[in-house]
Structure 1
Amino acid sequence: MQWMQRAEYPLSSKYDPEWVLANDMGPHPLWLLEDLARDLDLRPGMRVLDLGSGKGVTSVFLAKEYGAQVWAADLWIDPTDAAANFTGLDITALKAEAHALPFAREFFDAIVCIDAYEYFGTADNYLAYLTSFLRPGGQLGVATPALRREIRELGHIPEHIKKLVGWEAIAWHTADWWRFHWEITELVEVTSARLQETGWQDWLTWSRAVSEHRGTTDDSLAMLEQDQGEYLTFALLTARKPGGS
C-alpha cells in the first residue's frame, strides 16, 4: 500500500494502513486530522476531547503525535472495543451523546471532531453548548463533509449525492457558511475556515482502498466517481474561545 505514504501527510504515513482500514468508519480520519491540525496549536499535556471518535484512530493520533490527554467520546462504539487501541496511551474512552456530554464546564483545552459534526453541529444553539466545555482561549477544530456550493444556491441536491445520503446532504455546507454560522454568535473567533483542496481526491482514494480491502464496493464510491470533484470535499474549521492567555 505504497499509495498510503503521502508526502502531504507525513505523520499519517507512520501508521499501518491495515490498522487504519480495520478501524474504518468513513473517509481517512488521519489525513483529515493532520490537515486540520495545521490550523490548531496542539501541545503536550493539553486536555483534548475527540468528539465522535469512532474506533479511536484519531484519538491515538492526538495522543501520540501531540502528547495530548484525550477523552474519546462516541455514541455508537462500545468504549471497551475502542480502548483496545489505546494501550499505553493517555486516552479515556467513553460512550456519550453529543448533546449530553458528561464533563465539567471549561474542562478542555481543545475539542476536535473529525467527520461527525454534520450529524449534530448545524443547529443554531449547538456551538454555545459545545464551547461551554472549552476553557477561555481553548480551541475548536472540525473536519466535516462539504459542498463547493450551498444546496440553497443550487436549488436541489445533486442526484448522485442524493442517491447515497438523501436529505442529509443539506448538512454538508461550504466553509463560508460555517464561518458565518460561528462568527455571528461572537462565541468564538474563527481562525480558519477553508475547503480542503484535496478533499474529493483523498476521499475517492480511500473509498477505493476500503473497497479493495473488503472485497466489496464501498457505498460512497459511485457517488465520488460520478462527482469528479465538482461538488464534494471537506470543510476544515478552527476557532478559539475568547479570553485566556
Structure 2
Amino acid sequence: MSAHLTYAKASKYDPDVVYAHCSGPGGLKVAEFIADRLNLDPGLRLLDVGTFHGYQSCFLAKEYDVVVVGIDPWVDPSDPEGLLCVEHLARNARALSVDGSVLPVRAGVPETCFADASFDAAYCTTTLEMIRGSEGEARYRACLAEVCRVLRPGGLLGFGEPMHLDVEMPKDLAPVYTKGEGADIEGWAKCFAAIDETTEAFRSVGFEVLEADYAPDAQLWWEEYCQYTPGCKACPDGEEAQTIRSDGGRWLSFGYVIAQKPCPTVARGPRVPREAGGGDDKPAAGLI
C-alpha cells in the first residue's frame, strides 16, 4: 500500500489508536491534508464541527498550535461507558497535553448559539453527510450556513467527508448501499453526494469555494479504514469491510472543500468636485 502523499505529522501517531478515536476513513491524515490547506497561524481560533472523540481536534491543537473549540452533541453509541463525545474529547486533550488549547462544548449545528464571526477558521470532517442522510439536504445546508455565520469574514472552512464519484452506482453494490437508513453502510446512498453537488451546497449558503476535489489518497484512506477501524478489525469478513474492498474506488471516494466566507465589500461614496483653488479630492461627507 503506497501513499501518493506524505504525512509528516500524522505518521507519528499509532493508527490503531487513531482509528479507535476517529470516525470514517483517513484518521489524522485527513486532518493534516486539510489543515495544510488552511494556512493556520499559531493562536488562531478554530471551530471543529462534529468532533466524535476529538482526536483530530487535539491533533490540530498540538501540531498546528491553534486554539480549538470542539462541538458535538452526541453520545458515542459504541461506548460501554455511555460518555458524551465531548467527554472523550476532554480525555484525549489531557492525554495529549493540549487541554489548555482545546475547549469541548456540547453543541451542534445548526444551533451552535455562538455569536456571529466568533472564529478565525473552521474544520469539519465525516459529520454532515450523516445529517444529509437522516434529516435531508435542507438541514445539511442549514448546518453549512451556520458555520458560515460564525466564521469571521475572510475565514476559511476546511471540509471533508465521504463522497461518491460522479458515476452510476455499481449494480453489485447497490443492494448494500441502498437497503436501509442511517449512517451505516446500508444508508450510504442517502448520505453521500458527488463533489459538484457538495460545492453547489456551499455556494448556496454564501461560501466562496477556493478548492474542491476528491482527495488523491481517498482509496488509501478507505483501505486503512478497513484495516484499523474497530468494527472492521473485529469482523474483517463482515459486510462493511467486504463491500468497501469490493467497491475498490469504483463509486466510493472521499472529497474535500476549502471554502471562504467572503469579506464585505466597502461601498465608496461619490467624489466631491474640487473647488477652484481647493485642495485634493475628498469623499462626500459622512462616507468613507
Matching residue's letter, 1:158: A
Against the structure 1 CA distance between its residues 41 and 200, is the aligned structure 2 distance closer, same or farther, given a 3 Å change threshold?
Answer: same
By how many angstroms is 1:239 displaced?
Answer: 0.5
Secondary structure at the residue paired with 2:256? strand
Secondary structure at the residue paired with 2:122? strand
Q: Alignment partner for residue 27 of structure 2, among 26, 29, 35?
A: 29
Against the structure 1 CA distance between its residues 71 and 173, is the aligned structure 2 distance closer, same or farther, given a 3 Å change threshold?
Answer: same
Measure the CA separation in 2 of the matches of 1:7 and 1:119.
Answer: 28
Measure the CA separation in 2 of the matches of 1:235 and 1:211.
Answer: 23
Matching residue's letter, 2:129: E
Aligned to 1:117: 128
Paired positions, count: 240
Matches within 5 A, 1:1-245: 8-77=6-75, 78=84, 79-87=86-94, 88-89=97-98, 90-120=101-131, 122-123=137-138, 124-149=141-166, 158-163=174-179, 165-185=185-205, 187-210=206-229, 214-217=233-236, 220-243=240-263
Decide which moves more: 213-222 or 109-118. 213-222
Matched-pair contact (CA < 8 Å) for 1:147–1:232: yes
Matched-pair contact (CA < 8 Å) for 2:232–2:241: no
Decide which moves more: 4-13 or 226-235. 4-13
By how many angstroms is 1:204 displaced?
Answer: 1.7
Matching residue's letter, 1:26: G
Matched-pair contact (CA < 8 Å) for 1:4–1:17: no
- 1:54-94 deviations in whole A, cap 9, x for unaligned? 11111011101111100111122423332111123200112
Q: In angstroms, what is the RMSD of aligned CA positions? A: 2.9
Against the structure 1 CA distance between its residues 26 and 209, is the aligned structure 2 distance closer, same or farther, given a 3 Å change threshold?
Answer: same
Matching residue's letter, 1:138: G
Against the structure 1 CA distance between its residues 211 and 19, is the aligned structure 2 distance closer, same or farther, given a 3 Å change threshold?
Answer: closer
Matched-pair contact (CA < 8 Å) for 1:4–1:13: no
Identity of aligned residues (%): 28
Matched-pair contact (CA < 8 Å) for 1:29–1:115: no
By how many angstroms is 1:24 displaced?
Answer: 3.9
Task: Give the structure with higher Rg (CA).
Answer: 2
Against the structure 1 CA distance between its residues 25 and 129, is the aligned structure 2 distance closer, same or farther, given a 3 Å change threshold?
Answer: closer
Matched-pair contact (CA < 8 Å) for 2:72–2:106: yes
Matched-pair contact (CA < 8 Å) for 2:20–2:230: no
Measure the CA separation in 2 of the matches of 1:213 and 1:184.
Answer: 37
By how many angstroms is 1:96 displaced?
Answer: 1.2
Matched-pair contact (CA < 8 Å) for 1:45–1:68: yes
For structure 1, the 5+ residue unaligned runs are: none
